[in-house]
Amino acid sequence: MTREGEHGREAADHAGAVSRSEIEPLEAGRDAITRRAWRDAFDLLTQADASGLLEPHDLEALGEAAWWTGRLEDCIDARQRAYSAYVESGNSSRAAKVALTVAKDYYAIRASVGTSWLNRADRLLFDAAYAGTPPWDIGRPQSAFLRLAESGALRGRVLDVGCGTGEHALMAAALGLEATGIDASRSAIALAGRKAEDRGLAARFMVWDAFDLPALGVQFDTVLDSGLFHVFDNEDRARYIRSLRAAVVPDGRYFLLCFSDQVPGDVGPRRVSEDEIRESFSDGWEVLSIEGTTMDANFTPTGIPAWLSAIVRTAPAEGG
């Protein structure tokens, strides 16, 4: 063997030895996790982390070991990094689980940040639902909204808020209206964009926060809400309505389709009464009508008891 060959073999052997020395703490750390030897696990996985060897599940394990050894900041850091890695890899369901755990961690020290992480988990769980067909995704417009469109009630710029896979924005676009759909789910928005392309319709779809509608930079003449309003608690409902008001022109129409208080049981979204709708839109809005109808769903042929509300944004008083 030539001298160059010997040097090459020595370099390869050295590289292999270094690699093994780096891997050993990772393997030992994983073993310590299974034995619930939390202090050893934290030290070993931290050592492996310095070499950049931790997979997302290892970062979760590092966070768990940090929690059990009283290192809350290290715990949160590891879990946040695991969350980011899962999001980057497209594993929404696992990312949502980690987000829920981080929310719990933060509630011990900073409730507002904990709430933010809960909201991330909610969005990811909705997003993960689109790996299949969620019960609300019926592949066509809601019958109640289709009747509105056929009656000529939609006009001007149309916003489909919480649009899912975009059927109502596409319905508006098919009428020749300028249509925008927003949703927190990236998967849903991607599906909506493909539908628009397949159907040759010029609708705009964006991943967007319904609490930040003013940042869209445009106001709408018509807003369609099928199944978004009823997912909010009281505090978020008020935030949503403030956001909505800023995005609707004076005399613009907001059409709301939501679960009614006639829906039996307590599984799924909140049940909403007529009085709740009127109270929620008592300031800066006028409730024109609330009528009983049904929401179509892909798990029942009879539909779900619902309210269809027509609500108008009132113009501010002169000098107001």
Residue ranges making up the domain that contains 274: 143-313
> Which CATH number does the domain housing residue 68 bear?
1.25.40.10
Instruction: Give the pTM.
Output: 0.67
Q: Is 138 part of a structural domain of the chain?
A: no
> Given CA atoms 196, 241, 103, 129 in this order, what sign does their dihedral have?
negative
Q: Is 319 part of a structural domain of the chain?
A: no
Q: How many domains does the chain have?
A: 2
- Looking at the fold, whether 147 and 121 belong to one and the same domain comes out as no
- Looking at the fold, whether 278 and 248 belong to one and the same domain comes out as yes
Confidence of residue 3 (pLDDT cuts 50, 70, 90): very low
Residue with tokens 């829920």: 100
- Looking at the fold, whether 25 and 105 belong to one and the same domain comes out as yes
- Looking at the fold, whether 247 and 283 belong to one and the same domain comes out as yes
Q: How far apart are CA 48 and CA 62, in angstroms?
A: 10
Q: How far apart are CA 226 and CA 256, in angstroms?
A: 6
Please report which helix (H) or strand (E) contains residue 288, including its range: strand 285-297
Q: Is 153 part of a structural domain of the chain?
A: yes
Backbone dihedral angles phi then psi of residue 162, each to the nearest 5 degrees: 70, 50
- Looking at the fold, whether 185 and 275 belong to one and the same domain comes out as yes
> Which CATH number does the domain housing residue 283 bear?
3.40.50.150
- Looking at the fold, whether 59 and 189 belong to one and the same domain comes out as no
Q: Is 320 part of a structural domain of the chain?
A: no
Angle made by CA atoms 115, 263, 124, in degrees to the nearest 5? 30
Q: Which of 104, 129, 154 is the last residue of a domain?
A: 129
- Looking at the fold, whether 92 and 149 belong to one and the same domain comes out as no
Whether 310 and 145 have beta carbons less than 8 Å apart is answered as no
> Encoding tokens for residue 252?
């613009």
- 218-246 pLDDT, tens digit each: 999 999 999 999 988 888 899 999 999 99
Q: Is 103 part of a structural domain of the chain?
A: yes
- Looking at the fold, whether 228 and 255 belong to one and the same domain comes out as yes
DSSP letters spanning 106-129: HHTT-HHHHHHHHHHHHHHHHHHH
> Encoding tokens for residue 80?
């946040």
- Looking at the fold, whether 204 and 231 belong to one and the same domain comes out as yes
- CA count, 13 A, side-chain hemisphere, 264: 1
- 171-184 pLDDT, tens digit each: 999 999 999 999 98
Confidence of residue 25 (pLDDT cuts 50, 70, 90): confident
Q: Is 136 part of a structural domain of the chain?
A: no
Q: Which of 129, 163, 182 is the last residue of a domain?
A: 129
Percent of the chain with pLDDT over 70: 84
- 32-63 pLDDT, tens digit each: 999 989 899 999 999 999 988 899 999 989 98
Q: How far apart are CA 115 and CA 135, in angstroms?
A: 26
- Looking at the fold, whether 109 and 151 belong to one and the same domain comes out as no
- Looking at the fold, whether 124 and 199 belong to one and the same domain comes out as no
Q: How far apart are CA 317 and CA 284, in angstroms?
A: 10
Which residues, 6 or more positions from 244, have their beta carbon under 8 angstroms from its beta carbon? 161, 210, 213, 223, 254
- 112-155 pLDDT, tens digit each: 555 665 666 666 666 667 777 877 889 999 999 999 999 999 99
Q: How far apart are CA 83 and CA 92, in angstroms?
A: 9
Q: Which of 71, 96, 129 is the last residue of a domain?
A: 129
Q: Is 290 part of a structural domain of the chain?
A: yes
Whether 130 and 187 have beta carbons less than 8 Å apart is answered as yes
Q: Is 135 part of a structural domain of the chain?
A: no
- Looking at the fold, whether 83 and 193 belong to one and the same domain comes out as no
Q: How far apart are CA 75 and CA 104, in angstroms?
A: 12
CA distance readout (Å), 269 to 53, 140, 150, 264: 42, 21, 28, 12
